Structure 1
Amino acid sequence: MSASELPDELWRRILETGIHLSNLSYRDLCCISITCRRLNRISGEDFLWYSLLSSDFPQPHHNDPSSASTSSKKKSLYKIRYERDRERKRLAHRRAVLRMESEVAEHRRKVQELELQLAEEKEKMKSAVVELSNLRRVRQASVALNVWQPDVIRGRQKQVVEQCNVPVDSRINSTEMELRLCRQQIEGFDKALRVEVRRLEAAKEKLASVKYHPLQDNNLAPSPLGTRKKKLKSSSNVS
């Protein structure tokens, strides 16, 4: 017995069993509906679409205004529910992308802030190193004043010492302390920067995975339930 010789009741039972066993989706039913006039008529019957509606959207239908009219076709109700669910998923996906983009922007802001603080501390340390070097030369000059030297050299060293209004040893101690503090700050900023960069990279990877979510194609694609009529006309002569 060929497939065309099967009675309608047997076809109904085959399709119904496929839906109950989750082996037949709405896409499959739409594909079956464009094969011939007979299967188009059978696959559009309410009880099949009601089974799909109950299986894919199990929430109670009596609270849904779209299912209030008993004269409405279950296939139309399925299309309405499908498009609502697709829009809900699209919006949820969009919210997830926005949250991740905000997180990436926040990590990037923190990285830039830490880089700026690190650069400022390095500049402070560089200035402290230069100042410490100058103070040590001043101390050497003050020591050299007590040693016999030619008057020209002695005059230059005396001029260097006189330019320093604050005791040299005190300034050297404070500059060395500032230098140690700068090194500690640089070490802390550098460590925090490495951590924040890792967090930024992880957030960017997560954002990329969210942007290419499998639901994206379904969300952007038109509903297959509304694109079958033209195909049906071109294939109606098969039966």
Structure 2
Amino acid sequence: MTAIDTLSPDAIAARLSGSPAERAAFVREAADAGVAEAQAVYGQMLLDGTGVAADPVAALGWFTRAAAQHHVMALNMVGRCYDLGWGTRVDKTRAAECYRVAAARGLDWAMYNYATLLALGDGVAEDKPAALALLETVAAMDTGLASAKAINFVGSFAEDGWACERDLARAADCYRQAAEGGDFRGCFNHARMLGAASDIEAALHWLKQAGERGNAAFLAKAEAWLATSEIPAFRTRGVAALREGVAC
């Protein structure tokens, strides 16, 4: 038994109610004591720089230790590190294998991540039908943002006719659901469809939402697309709405 094991729930809550640095220190104690959940959480803290200096190399180490104890989200995060080069070199094949194993254990985020690699043929043989099946499974799970992102991707399949009949009405409905679920790509895609349907005011609302929620790389591409759009309002008011969201 470790010192962590002797703490009451109230004592643990008190330790977690301190400053970010104090919380990180307590989680580190639990991680050192071998608690898999704490190892996964501390890895995320190191990745994000929450209460501790950001250290993606150390983050990967903690994710790996938790994954060795069969912590499924930690295994997914090992995959993310190899997928995106966080704390290590990019290795899409290794990322795909981590996602595949975690997906087989039912983790929504791993299923989404593995479907993304399958759809693109990144680190694994391209298999769009299998990717679509996984995405539809995650979408039906209704587990929050992972489901919203999956629904958005299902919309892309429908819009482009990947592994299914091209169906713009279904694509538009998927994008609407994804936007309402908080996915920034869904917000942008929903805005695209609304703009094409001449509902500019509604489109501008969702472009602002995309600006508030999107990451820098995505937003740069989104603004470039808007700036050259065939819809005049997107080239002016659309760009302004996206930027307004970023400024919020």
TM-score by length of 1: 0.24
Instruction: Pick the structure with more helix per residue.
Output: 1
Higher radius of gyration, 1 or 2:
1
Highest relative contact order (Cα 8 Å, sep 6+), 1 or 2?
1
TM-score by length of 2: 0.23
